[in-house]
Structure 1
Amino acid sequence: MSLHTAYPRPDKSALLLAVSAMGVVVLASNILVQFAINDWLTWGAITYPFAFLVSELVNRRFGPAQAKRVAWVGFAVAVLASALLAPPRIAAASGLAFACSQMLDISVFDKLRHSHWWRAPLIATVLAACLDTAVFWSIGFAGEDLPWVTWALGDLGVKLALGVCLLLPFRLLMGRANAAPQS
């Protein structure tokens, strides 16, 4: 959409819900990434793809400016909480990976928003998940005596699989949001 496209103005409760969801997802992911399921996967890989779902729903309904607002506020809340609950290196890696991948996700989604309903969230999520994985794991774990490369590969595989699985909730929630009364 062009810069002059009018999006519905979100009410404060919609933005608060989106920011809260984003903060919970990122905080949970920062904590859960510290716990391995096996040599290929940590628990954080299962929760993090929901951050893309949140930003894409906000982007679809209210536009990229509101999606960026939610991402930045959710980022601030999550990084502050992560700084208290996760090791500093994990918090820093998460913050940088989150900011980069969310801005990429929002930008790609916005550019593809007029194509088939599934194309924007799928392509945006795939690209953002790849960037997030590369940035997070290389900063958060490089040099550590842990199987972080295999965790990164497992993490990416789960993010991509969940990105596909989250297309159905995206479609269902997108339709519901579009049917919501506007202020």
Structure 2
Amino acid sequence: MNRAHIPGIIAMAAIVVASNILVQFLFGQWLTWGAFTYPLAFLVTDIMNRVYGAPAARKVVLAGFVVGVICSLIGTQIMGEFGPLVTVRIAIGSGIAFLTAQLLDVAIFSALRGGAWWRAPLASTLVSSSVDTILFFSIAFAGSLAFIHPETDVAWASEALPLLGFGPVAPLWVSLAIADWSVKLLLALLALIPFRAITRRLV
């Protein structure tokens, strides 16, 4: 392993661990604190890609995936008020969403590498974070995918409520997904500032 990649691996691992912890704490009605830390994973991937290339970025992604799996396994063994802190469906959804979205981010960034400095990180993060949201929330909470692990009770997520409290009636998990996706889009724009500053310093 290239020693230059270690800071990226450590940063990714820290983000994954922090997000797995902070997702247990609510921020308002539709979000958790983890929604504000997890999108930083895309920033780390993009910085590694810009500075060291796609192979290095993929190494960081795989390291984050392994850490995430370990966190999920630990979470399934910790019992909370309503059962395990991490259900089997959440663990599966989290792993699939993370690996798929992060590798997609690497691919899109690499394809757009030659354009304006902001185009690759912005486009790759917007697309991949959208895929991440769709995959995670549908796998973890959609009633139509209950066959993934029938023993996991996610009936609460299918409660019909006004979208984000004021829109048309939709399952609760859809409001949670839209709120999470909105934070990711906002942070994708804000992340361009540290991306530019860090990559200019390292390249």
TM-score range, shorter chain: 0.7 to 0.9
Would you say the 8 A contact 1:56–1:109 is kept in 2?
A: yes
Q: State how many pairs are aligned.
A: 168
Q: TM-score, normalised by structure 2?
A: 0.78
Return 5+ residue gaps in structure 2 as ranges. Answer: 76-84, 144-153, 158-171
Q: 1:7 aligns to what?
A: none
SS class of match (1:120): helix
Aligned mate of 1:156, from 171, 181, 189: 181
Indicate which of 43, 51, 59 corresponds to 1:53.
43
Q: Assess if the C-alpha contact under 8 Å between 1:22 and 1:75 holds in 2.
A: no
Q: Aligned-pair RMSD on alpha carbons?
A: 1.5
- Rg comparison, structure with higher value: 2
Is 1:32–1:43's contact at 8 Å kept on the other side of the alignment?
yes
Counterpart contact for 1:52–1:125, Cα < 8 Å: yes
Q: Which structure is higher in strand share?
A: 2
Alignment of 1:64 onto 2:57: no
Kindly report which structure 2 residues correspond to 1:30-179, keeping only aligned pairs within 5 A, or say none.
Answer: 30-85=20-75, 86-87=85-86, 88-143=88-143, 144=154, 145-146=156-157, 147-178=172-203
Change (3 A) 1:34 1:139: farther
1:13-32 paired onto structure 2 within 5 Å: 14-32=4-22
Q: Identity across aligned pairs (percent)?
A: 45
Q: One-letter code of the match for 1:177? A: L
Asked if the contact 1:24/1:78 (under 8 Å) is kept, the reply is no
**Aligned partners of 2:140, 2:34: CA distance in 1, in Å?**
13
**TM score, norm. by length of structure 1:** 0.86
> Deviation string for 1:114-159 (max 9, x for gaps)?
1010000000000011000000111122232132211110000000
Larger RCO of the pair (alpha carbons < 8 Å, separation 6+):
1
Q: Which runs of 5+ in 1 are unaligned?
A: 1-9, 179-183
**Moved segments of 4+, more than 6 Å:** none
